Amino acid sequence: MTNRIAIIGSAGSGKSTLSRRLGEILSLPVVHLDRFYWKPNWTPTVNDEWDEFVKDAVSEDQWIIDGNYTRTLGIRLSEADAVIFLDMPRLLCIYRIMKRRIQYHGKTRPDLNEECPEKLDWAFFIWVWNYRKRSRSKVMEALEQVKGRKQVVILKSRKEVQEFLDQVKYNGKI
């Protein structure tokens, strides 16, 4: 049985949405890393405190954890039974971050700390735009290292995500 699932991918790839839906289907608790990393007013958690939080989170028996944070990716991958990488097209991710900026204008998304109202600044836009060039190869390398021991799922489109969810619903497992 798959009780520990790590979901990774660019901002706007659909990590939080997928983790919520999988959590409902599989009755697993969901941890949105952004909710815990960002303190009020978008203040980041210091590294030592963050490392401890991630180690505590993965020590639980059951979880779905979504988020990037490549510095602690190894901790999550070492404890996960399955890893889902949302390898979505750049323009889809850009569209989604712009859409949620409009949708949550002046409000906080459900997967964030309450005192972090939705924002979209140029630096974040560039970060999403450059994700494939900057981070994808590191993620693929990390997945290659765990491939034989962990279940690795790479989803590249909305259609693949929906088919995956339909399969999980039908089978009751990943």
The DSSP bridge pattern shows strands 82-86 and 151-155 to be parallel
Average pLDDT over residues 59-75: 96
pTM of the model: 0.95
Number of domains in the chain: 1
Is residue 1 pLDDT above 80, yes or no?
no
Predicted pLDDT at 26: 98
Checking if the pLDDT of 35 tops 80, the result is yes
**What is the phi/psi pair of residue 112, to 5°?**
-120, 165
Q: Where are the alpha helices (DSSP H) in 84-157?
A: 90-103, 122-129, 131, 137-146
| Domain assignment of residue 95, given as a range | 4-171
- CATH number of the CATH domain containing 95: 3.40.50.300
